[in-house]
Structure 1
């Protein structure tokens, strides 16, 4: 089976910070909202141990097949 060679580039990222964190542990959950042949749209939720929202991110990647 021949592997396909691809390159992934970020074309846009947007972050909204909701809370200020000086120290501690942060966690992130990412979900692909759209997975097309050339564009992927991803939502990322960043939160702390108390499950409080810290940041909300959205990211768009372009997939280039070689």
Structure 2
């Protein structure tokens, strides 16, 4: 039996306890057939010194949602998921509110997966474009 969307989101949010995701207040809020969305508040906790969202915080958000999407959409009973490459282009700054990262699969291979992650503000304006490659590593038996 497939888990419901609510169960998937609850599982993703439960995994975040006592991790960087909890520190950054990342919250998984939407899941579809081929995508996962997480949001993060933009507060001084994630600002760079001049008062805008730190690029590293955006990359952490993107890797979090992309890795979680790999976990959700792949059979992870036999695999660990690891991010192996990430590339980000920040196109707009933001000082407050929330940002939303939507991870969509570009390539779903047996070993590697490629994710397109767009980070947008609450009005839908594009803030950052991220490409993440994840790898499925077999678990020891």
The TM-score with structure 1 as length reference comes to: 0.88
Gaps of 5+ in 1: none
| Larger proportion of strand | 1
From 129, 134, 138, the counterpart of 1:56 = 129
Per-residue CA distance 1:14-56 (angstroms, 9 max, x = gap): 1110111111111121101000100000000000111110000
Q: Does 1:31 align with 2:104?
A: yes
Q: Does 1:22 align with 2:89?
A: no
Match of 1:13 in 2: 86
Q: CA RMSD in A?
A: 1.4
Gaps of 5+ in 2: 1-75
Moved over 3 A (4+): none
The TM-score with structure 2 as length reference comes to: 0.43
Counting matched residue pairs gives: 64
- Shift of the alpha carbon at 1:8? 1.0
